[in-house]
Amino acid sequence: MSSPYSAASVTAASQGSNPYGGITSKYPGPRAQISRDQSLVWWRRILPVITAHRISFFVAIALSFVSLVFQTMIPKMLNSSIDEALVHHTASLHSNVLKVIAIGLLAGITGIVSRRYVFSTAYNVEADLRSLIYEHLTWLSFSFYDRVQSGQLISRANSDIRSVQMYSTFAPLIVVQCSIGIVAFGFMLSINAPLAFIAMIVMPLLYFVGIRMREVMFPISWITQARLADVATIVDENINGVRVIKSFAQEEAEINRLADAAEKVAWAYIKDAKIRGQWSPWVQNLPQLGLAMVLLFGGWMVLDGHIGIGAILAFNAYLLMLQAPFMMLGQLVMMGQRAKASAERIFEILDENPEIIERNGAFDLTNNQGAVEFNHVRFGYGDGPDILTDFTATINPGETVALVGVTGSGKSTLARLLTRFYDVRDGSVTLDGHDVRDLTLFSLRKNVGVVLDEPFLFSVSIAENIAYGLPNAGRDEIIAAAKAANADEFIVKMADGYDTVVGERGYTLSGGQRQRIAIARTLLVNPPVLVLDDATSAIDVHVEAEIYSALNRLLANRTTLVIAHRISTIALATRVILLDQGRVVATGTHNELLASTPLYSQVLAQTTSEAQ
């Protein structure tokens, strides 16, 4: 499957910059992308991210193998030492002991270094996967977030990534430990071939048990991860909506909702435990059967004089050495099924294509004069009905136009189309004569500033919130923007002034204060086109008048769309556009529409009553 992004965007992403350009991240970015070929099995799609760290990964694998080879040498040396030093007295016991100690130290040292490299690889792979999914989330369009719960996204960006990371990096080590059985089998063959085959007779049974265990583990692994995401969704909604919950005294209901979800998770874990309880004993205890057979047949061989006692001890040591990897084999199967389920949940996001992408040949908007035009626009959200139908309007450079209409008439939708949060179904939206779909997203959104009716503030200082769109702004510029939005007066009265850290989403401030900071944030960027989406709805009428006094000066040299509900807001505009059923029904000054259009008076009366 081909990538939905332009080659330039993918290259920029791999170099740690945002897909719109203009901002360079301090983080260098993941070294590789996952494969976009959906026909591949999940681990092959993840493989490019792992191979990007191939040096540390292969060093870890190689040293782990070397460490295990050293460990398999010790039983062979014990066999020789017992036969030569204790039975036949042909060699020194002390020299053999020193050799065993030396080999043991080498095994320990290589094992320690191996673990350091594998952990380094594991955490780097996890960081790359998390960055990949976050980058992709930033590229996705608003339509994606309209239908996906945030808790699901958080779960997939955390616990699912951890499951994939653990299996992708630790599974090869477990496989190496299991494959060391081949080396051990070679040593056993060198001691006594018939006894070696007897010792390994249970291995085919282990293989078939592992296959069956994998088949029954996958469905419950998927269910477990999905239900964990449901719990994350409920917790996220409860934290973000705590004020609504408390306002309606619904704490008990939400506790019950979370308890129900937690019980479903518990059921999945219990089912998982039952499956493991049914199959893990087979994986863990079948090697014990091999040990018993070695003792039985090996004992007969010792009594018949075919092998020495040292060989029996060596065989027992090899089988005990192999027991741990085969015990981990069951864990590997479980990890694999959980990782597969998690990977498929992650791919559901990474395989999602953004609807809003830059066209080939998209260019930056420069020297923007602020001429806005909507040409026969038709638009609706998702598969829903049209909200705008044949909407046509022209806004001249430097003009301030108020958009008026009943709730649901499409006023806010026009702002979203102008910034290309969504694309029109038919018609076009142009800026300075350029179709917004022909412009780079970065330059478009830098030239069109939007102040929403529900401003979002980050949990940082007020100064950082105001400077969000212009991080390098000086303190004087920040203060000037705050004064223009009439926010400086309440900011300076706070304990830490502009360095005051606001609570999550800015809820330590009043609604009016949040709106004024949002206005200051947009004014600091100084966009040629400004959209005020009912931006003063939570502001006191007297404060609103002071803000408008400042805005009147600032709006003089920019094109402004005012999505209005209050008559005081409409007063900012030199022209009013009246919307009804998704199209323009009248345009003119406030006084002209009052005199000529009865619908205008009705809309104002309705919006005024809704605001009260």
pLDDT at 89: 60
Q: Which two tokens stand for residue 366?
A: 């420069």
- At residue 262's C-alpha, the angle toward residues 256 and 264, to 5°, is 110
pLDDT at 395: 92
Strands in 448-451's sheet, in edge-to-edge order, are: 448-451, 529-533, 559-563, 400-404, 575-580, 583-588
Instruction: Report, as an integer, the average pLDDT of 99-113.
Output: 87
Asked if the structure places residue 362 within a domain, the reply is no
How many CA atoms are closer than 13 Å to the CA of 512, on its beta-carbon side? Answer: 16
Instruction: Report, as an integer, the average pLDDT of 395-420.
Output: 88
pLDDT at 84: 62
Nearest residue to 338 via CA among 164, 126, 210: 164
Tracing tokens 């301030």 back to the chain, one arrives at 400
Looking at the fold, whether 175 and 191 belong to one and the same domain comes out as yes
Nearest-angstrom CA–CA distance, 81 and 501:
71
Residue 17 has pLDDT above 50, yes or no: no
- Higher confidence at residue 14 or residue 38? 38
Tell me the per-residue pLDDT of 112-158, one tens digit each, with 9 for 90 and over.
998 888 888 888 888 888 888 888 888 888 888 878 777 677 777 77
Contacts for 432 with CB less than 8 Å, ≥ 6 apart: 365, 368, 369, 370, 371
Tell me the per-residue pLDDT of 254-297, one tens digit each, with 9 for 90 and over.
788 888 888 888 888 888 888 877 777 777 677 777 777 777 87
Cβ atoms within 10 Å, residue 11: 11
Looking at the fold, whether 12 and 39 belong to one and the same domain comes out as no
Looking at the fold, whether 265 and 395 belong to one and the same domain comes out as no
pLDDT at 377: 93
Q: What's 476's domain CATH number?
A: 3.40.50.300
Q: How many domains are contained in the chain?
A: 3
Residue 452 has pLDDT above 90, yes or no: no
pLDDT at 11: 33
Domain boundary, last residue among 285, 320, 350 = 350
Q: Which two tokens stand for residue 264?
A: 């479903």
- Higher confidence at residue 110 or residue 210? 110
pLDDT at 27: 58
Alpha-carbon dihedral sign for residues 551, 553, 558, 562: positive
Looking at the fold, whether 195 and 302 belong to one and the same domain comes out as yes
Asked if the structure places residue 359 within a domain, the reply is no
Tracing tokens 């330039």 back to the chain, one arrives at 8
Instruction: Report, as an integer, the average pLDDT of 196-205.
Output: 76
pLDDT at 2: 35
> pLDDT-derived band of residue 566, with 50, 70 and 90 as boundaries?
confident
Asked if the structure places residue 263 within a domain, the reply is yes
Asked if the structure places residue 408 within a domain, the reply is yes
Looking at the fold, whether 457 and 399 belong to one and the same domain comes out as yes
Looking at the fold, whether 25 and 38 belong to one and the same domain comes out as no
> pLDDT-derived band of residue 5, with 50, 70 and 90 as boundaries?
very low
Residue 323 has pLDDT above 80, yes or no: no
Instruction: Report, as an integer, the average pLDDT of 547-551.
Output: 63
Nearest-angstrom CA–CA distance, 577 and 586:
6
Tell me the per-residue pLDDT of 573-591, one tens digit each, with 9 for 90 and over.
889 999 988 889 999 988 8
Q: What is the phi/psi pair of residue 501, to 5°?
A: -90, 125
- At residue 136's C-alpha, the angle toward residues 134 and 140, to 5°, is 120
The residue range of the domain holding 82 is: 31-350
pLDDT at 603: 83
pLDDT at 244: 61
Looking at the fold, whether 323 and 427 belong to one and the same domain comes out as no
Instruction: Report, as an integer, the average pLDDT of 311-324.
Output: 73
Tell me the per-residue pLDDT of 55-87, one tens digit each, with 9 for 90 and over.
988 998 899 888 888 888 877 777 767 766 565
Residue 29 has pLDDT above 80, yes or no: no
3-state secondary structure 137-202: HHHCCHHHHHHCCHHHHHHHHHHHHHHHHHHHHHHHHHHHHHHHHHHHHHHHHHHCHHHHHHHCCC
Looking at the fold, whether 457 and 417 belong to one and the same domain comes out as yes
Q: Which residues of 324-343 are buried (b: 16+ CB within 10 A; e: fewer)?
A: ebbebbbebbbbbbbbbbbb
- Higher confidence at residue 557 or residue 489? 489
- Higher confidence at residue 134 or residue 90? 134
Q: Which residues of 510-520 are buried (b: 16+ CB within 10 A; e: fewer)?
A: eebbbbbbbbb
Strand partners, 428: 375
Burial class (CB in 10 A: 0-12, 13-18, 19+), 534: buried
Tell me the per-residue pLDDT of 491-500, one tens digit each, with 9 for 90 and over.
998 888 999 9
Looking at the fold, whether 22 and 46 belong to one and the same domain comes out as no
Most confident of 27-41, 203-217, 433-447: 433-447
Asked if the structure places residue 126 within a domain, the reply is yes
- At residue 392's C-alpha, the angle toward residues 390 and 397, to 5°, is 160
Domain boundary, last residue among 285, 316, 350 = 350
Residue 1 has pLDDT above 60, yes or no: no
Mean pLDDT for the chain overall: 79
Looking at the fold, whether 239 and 388 belong to one and the same domain comes out as no
Q: Read off the pTM.
A: 0.68
Residue 437 has pLDDT above 90, yes or no: yes
Tracing tokens 């529900």 back to the chain, one arrives at 454
- Higher confidence at residue 334 or residue 600? 600
> pLDDT-derived band of residue 567, with 50, 70 and 90 as boundaries?
confident
Instruction: Report, as an integer, the average pLDDT of 509-521.
Output: 83
pLDDT at 379: 93
Contacts 24+ apart (CB under 8 A), 132-137: 132/30, 132/33, 132/34, 132/49, 132/350, 133/157, 133/161, 133/346, 133/349, 133/350, 135/13, 135/19, 135/29, 135/30, 136/349, 136/350, 136/352, 137/349
Asked if the structure places residue 282 within a domain, the reply is yes
Instruction: Report, as an integer, the average pLDDT of 283-312.
Output: 75
Nearest-angstrom CA–CA distance, 61 and 236:
40
pLDDT at 394: 92
Asked if the structure places residue 361 within a domain, the reply is no
Nearest-angstrom CA–CA distance, 496 and 509:
14
Q: What is the phi/psi pair of residue 39, to 5°?
A: -80, -15
Strand partners, 374: 393, 429
Looking at the fold, whether 9 and 93 belong to one and the same domain comes out as no
Looking at the fold, whether 411 and 294 belong to one and the same domain comes out as no
Asked if the structure places residue 364 within a domain, the reply is no
Tell me the per-residue pLDDT of 204-232, one tens digit each, with 9 for 90 and over.
777 677 667 767 777 787 788 778 777 87
Q: What's 252's domain CATH number?
A: 1.20.1560.10
Nearest residue to 451 via CA among 287, 569, 341: 569
Nearest-angstrom CA–CA distance, 35 and 3:
10
Tell me the per-residue pLDDT of 475-486, one tens digit each, with 9 for 90 and over.
999 998 898 888
Most confident of 180-194, 234-248, 353-367, 551-565: 353-367
Do residues 504 and 459 touch, judged by C-beta distance below 8 A?
Answer: yes
